[in-house]
Chain A
Amino acid sequence: MLALLDVDKLLTFTIIGLSTGAIYAIIAAGLVVTYTTSGIFNLAHGATGMLAAFTYWQFRFAWGWPAPVALVVVLLMLCPLFGAATERFIMRGLKGTTEVIRLTVTVALFAGMLGLANWIWPPDGSRVAFRRFFEGNTVPLGGINVSWHRVITLACAVLVAAALRYIMFRSRAGVTMRAVVDDRDLAELNGGRPDRVAMLAWALGAGLAGLAGVLLAGEQQLNIEPLVLLVINAYAAAILGRLRSLPWTFAGAALLGLLDSYYLGYLDGRIIPSTMFGFSLNGLRASIPIIVLFIALVAMPVSRLRVGAVRFREKHREPVWSTSLLGAVLLVTFVIAISGMLTRANTLLAINGFVFAIAALSLVPLTGYAGQLSLAPMTFAGLGAIAMAKLPGNGSILTLAGAILIVAGIGAIVALPALRLSGVYLALATAAFAVLVSKLVFNQRQTFQTGNIDVPTLAIPFVDIGSPRSRLILLSVAFAVLGLCIVALRRSPLGRRLIALKDSQAAAATLGMNLTATKVAAFAISAGIAACAGALVGDKVSPQQYDFLQSLPVVLLAVVGGVASVAGALLGGMLLGGSLVLVILAPAMTNISKVLPGAIGITLGRNPSGASEQIAENFRALAGRWGLISVAVAGGTGVWFLANRGIISNWSFVFAIAVWTLGVVPNLPALAERFDRRTVSAGIWLAAGMAAAAFIDWGTAVGSSGWRLLVLIAVVFTIGPIGERLLDRSPRVRPGSPDAIGLTDDLTPLEVEDAERRIGVVL
């Protein structure tokens, strides 16, 4: 207590705390502005700040531009431009999609930006330092010396607060933003332009994120992950403002900053020991904002049941036993068949793909069926790995069962307080949980003692599982079994309840369903499956593999693959594993593989049901049409024949088969429907595409096999969709142009008068 009397110390730590809080406040304010005006919680907000900091560093320190020029270019030009473009080209397409999709798209953006930063600025120690503003200069303030950088940070926060206050209450654009929040339709009936307002808000938000990123980099130096994660702390401030109130957001940010600084100054190592009951508390300080976030989320008032079912664009079907069993058998057979031909490295990659696929599978009941987004699948996988390694039984089936049960229990317990929340709040609570576990659990001696633990291979009586090949087969069997369990779940009463929960909470509750119990069940099942992804890995694992940031691509690709189906989870996991395959095949592809998941995810707005559903939909049209099926089979056989006779090369065979199956076959039903100009032109196009795929010698035409894969994807995605477009019969309607009476653009009063005279609107 004596320490509290030291005024200088108190002042020092208060100022440090407030300047940290100032940065949180600036980030959080941007988040609140974009969320309220567009209804999209931008998880990539922090990544925007990180990218801005790097860009500023590039201009200012690598190229030596003067600071003011670099600042103006980054904060007033590039950031707002980036924000506006994000809104215009990505977020605007998300109308009518579920909150899961909207959040996932921002996860995609997050992943993409992280990849981009890693690509352009690969982490190495030899970078020119990021210096603070007026490095080394201090201002005396109440008896202590405060660095210029901190003073500037504090001044920025005050300025931002004042500017936002002015914009929101004293400018028509700002008032329109608030009006759009209140009632979007009415704002439009008033003649406002909600889309333009949203674009403005995103531009503003990105600018604020950029400012915070530059200020933060001065304090923390340029490291991608710490920058991004520190920014997550600011989410706590935004939540304290209930994602609505800017004053409360600023207050919350100040509180967080002060907590952090006082902890450092007064509690750390003194009042709070560095270890307790043998557990290290090193990660506690860094976890404070996350703990606050968690408490704030749990203290949120329960949202009222929403009446008024929303019709979403996503469509999913109930899985059928026959297809599911066939799929499971085919998968295992295929893996057994090819496993002998894979190199050791490729086998390890395929194992990885299945681990991701199982983690993605854990999202199917929770996200796909029950509509609740979790951002922590890999965290539960990590807990599963620890349980498998630590539980007695040395990897027996019983050990696995124990691990699943324990993690499922943890999942249920974590879910319980968070369940009163929904949508974005629930997703954030799971993110908070993931970060907490990384910081407080995974760094303990008792879990990952030396940074690595050995997870024993599952011991099955009479079967020897030691080689990577047998582990791969084991994982494929595990995926198949778990997949069938999910199918059984979907077809069970509980499965129907989960769907009911997603489709209409109001109806489910008024029919007597306990929403909380159902959500807890979904969380527990999901955590249990995710535990398998860790427990079955059968290898040495490190805590970094189960970091929060590792969960993001899993969530992302599960949703891209189609989160409401087992096939989607497999596709998502393999895509993630596949982007690693790309790296092995062609080292030059490393950078592309970093941005690939993000780039794929961003297309979700166009196809919210996921890729597997899209592919399945295309093939369903063939069902029962034996004529078309035989044409499809004949085409494939023909290509195989050409390759078999050595007429075309192996790579051309791959290209031709891919184009035939994914590009031509889905178009067959429409092609066979009738014979007219459209079908003829589509037929010619598809035939030309097939010819190009089969007869260009891709093996020599394109250099590395990595590039060949990319070209393959490009070819398939050009030929198929264009053919589809040519066959599309739905009429394209364009809105009438109301130019002459100023129906689209504001006309000057003179023009209005003239136009009105011409068409006689004046009464």
Chain B
Amino acid sequence: MRPPILELRGVSAGYGAIEVLHDVDLVIERGQVVALLGPNGAGKTTTIRVASGQVRPTTGFLHVAGRDVTGVSAGALARAGVCTIPEGRGIFANLTVRENLWMATHGGPSLGEVEECTYARFPRLAERRTQVAGTMSGGEQQMLALARGLAVDPVMLLLDELSMGLAPKIVAELYEQVAAIASEGVSVLVVEQFARTVLGVADHTILLANGMVRWSGATADIGDTALAEVYLGQGRSADPTPDTTTSPSPGGTAP
């Protein structure tokens, strides 16, 4: 049996003295699309940063295609085919669209190929090829960021909050492209806050909270109610009524 394309084994990681991830296990099989969901501060972005080589786990291992690559630089992983679109606009704001695409060629493909592929998928970017990327709209910027992931023909695509700050219509458009590339057999790890958006794309879902995996399984097994519980915190106790009346009386500040 071929080893999974990406695997985090018992990973704990953080920044300085602050540990964000606690003993996280995560497996992405070849061709799988995995959604990593959870409220803010759950450690989703840190998970992506570990998987992309930007953060070195304090304990645990990162495996790519069955090989231990713990501690390998992000650039090396990128050139090996692990393509990461980071949170926030993953573009160089002061470079033109074309120069941005040029930067995607470090992994192998020529600028011509990258441009061709990008403009075919996002015709809007072709019109803006000489425009400075930072002056485009949020949606166009994110298209450009995603374009790199599509054009470099990656082995593994890591997407961090593609939808952040974008209108639903544009988000839907972006995820059509993700679904398309997934259907070509590329493994994808999608981190999202817009849970429902990615549920249509992902085969497998992992729910992360407080740096630990809370739920993991086939996407089909997760329902909206369960999601809403995690996100809006309605279900942690059996009684769903919000309780503002039992807040402590004035002066009740001592522990």
Residues of chain A at the chain B interface (Cβ within 8 Å): 169, 172, 175-176, 178-179, 181-183, 185-194, 311, 733-736, 738, 740-744, 746, 749, 752, 759-761, 763
Contact = CB atoms under 8 A, between A and B. Distances in A.
B95 A742 contact: no
B23 interface: no
Contacts of A744: 72, 76
A662 B31 CA distance: 60
Given A736-B72, A738-B69, A191 B79 contact: yes
Contact of A185 (B74, B81, B102): B74
Contacts of A746: 79, 108
B79 A742 contact: yes
B185 interface: yes
19 contacts: A172-B105, A179-B92, A182-B94, A190-B148, A191-B75, A191-B78, A191-B107, A193-B75, A736-B69, A736-B71, A738-B80, A741-B64, A741-B65, A743-B72, A743-B79, A743-B80, A744-B72, A763-B186, A763-B187
Q: Which one of A182, A185, A740, A759 has the highest number of Cβ atoms from chain B below 10 Å of its Cβ?
A: A182
A53 B90 CA distance: 44
B52 to A, nearest CB: 6
Given A742-B80, A743-B64, A760-B66, 19 more contacts: A175-B95, A181-B94, A183-B93, A188-B73, A189-B74, A190-B107, A190-B148, A191-B107, A193-B75, A193-B106, A735-B70, A735-B71, A736-B69, A738-B72, A740-B67, A741-B80, A746-B108, A759-B67, A761-B65
A185 B84 CA distance: 11
B102 A175 contact: yes
A752 B107 CA distance: 11
A194 B64 CA distance: 23
A312 to B, nearest CB: 11
A185 B99 contact: no
A239 B107 CA distance: 36
Given A175-B95, A759-B66, A188 B30 contact: no
Contacts of A311: 16
B103 interface: yes
B177 to A, nearest CB: 18
B78 A190 contact: yes
B155 A761 contact: yes
B77 interface: yes
Contacts of B108: 746, 749, 752
A759 B65 contact: yes
B95 A189 contact: no
Contacts of A178: 92, 94-95, 99
Interface size class of B (residues with CB under 8 A): 35 or more
B84 A736 contact: no
A190 B155 CA distance: 14
Contacts of A191: 75, 78-79, 106-107
B90 A179 contact: no
A740 B66 CA distance: 12
B180 to A, nearest CB: 15
A188 B75 contact: yes
Contact of B92 (A182, A188, A742): A182
B79 A188 contact: no
B20 to A, nearest CB: 15
B54 interface: yes
Contact of B103 (A179, A185, A743): A179
A186 B78 CA distance: 11
A277 B69 CA distance: 74
Contacts of A186: 86, 90-92
Contact of B67 (A192, A194, A734, A736): A736
B31 A190 contact: no
B68 interface: yes
Interface in B1-31: 2-3, 5, 16, 30-31
Interface centre among B2, B3, B67, B185 (most CB of A within 10 A): B67
A759 B90 CA distance: 30
B174 interface: no
Contacts of B102: 172, 175
A245 to B, nearest CB: 11
A200 to B, nearest CB: 14
Nearest to B15: A311
Contacts of A761: 5, 65, 81, 155
Interface string B34-69: 000000000000000000101000000000111111
B99 to A, nearest CB: 5
Nearest to B106: A191
B74 A733 contact: no
B86 A760 contact: no
Contacts of B185: 763
Residue picked from A178, A187, A190, most chain B C-beta under 10 Å: A190
Contacts of A194: 75
Q: Which of A176, A178, A743 gathers most chain B CB within 10 Å?
A: A743
Contacts of B103: 175-176, 179, 187, 190, 192
B146 interface: no
Contacts of A189: 52, 54, 74-75, 78, 84, 86, 90
A178 to B, nearest CB: 6
Nearest to B145: A186
Nearest to B71: A735
Contacts of B105: 172
B104 interface: yes
A175 to B, nearest CB: 5
Contacts of A185: 54, 74, 86
A242 to B, nearest CB: 13
Contacts of A738: 64, 67, 69, 72, 76-77, 80
A294 B108 CA distance: 47
A297 B19 CA distance: 42
A168 to B, nearest CB: 10
Interface in B208-235: none
Contacts of B94: 178, 181-182
Nearest to A192: B106
B104 A190 contact: yes
A733 B71 contact: yes
Contacts of A763: 5, 30-31, 155, 185-187
B98 to A, nearest CB: 9
Nearest to B84: A189
Which residue among A172, A187, A192, A761 has the maximum number of chain B CB atoms within 10 Å of its CB?
A761
B71 A734 contact: yes
Interface in B133-191: 148, 155, 185-187
A762 to B, nearest CB: 8
Given A190-B148, A191-B78, A760 B65 contact: yes
Nearest to A752: B108
A741 to B, nearest CB: 5
Nearest to B111: A172
A91 B187 CA distance: 39
A714 to B, nearest CB: 34
A5 to B, nearest CB: 46
A162 to B, nearest CB: 19
A164 B80 CA distance: 31
A566 B19 CA distance: 36
Contacts of A169: 99
A733 B75 CA distance: 19
A179 B95 contact: yes
Which of A175, A182, A186, A311 has the most B CB atoms < 10 Å from its CB? A186
Please list the 8 inter-chain residue pairs (A to B) with the smallest Cβ-Cβ separation, ordered nearest first: A735-B71, A191-B106, A191-B78, A182-B92, A736-B68, A743-B80, A191-B79, A188-B75
B95 A182 contact: yes
Nearest to A189: B84
Nearest to B66: A759
A80 to B, nearest CB: 23
A742 B67 CA distance: 12
Nearest to A178: B95
Nearest to B3: A760
Contacts of A741: 64-65, 67, 80-81
A475 to B, nearest CB: 43
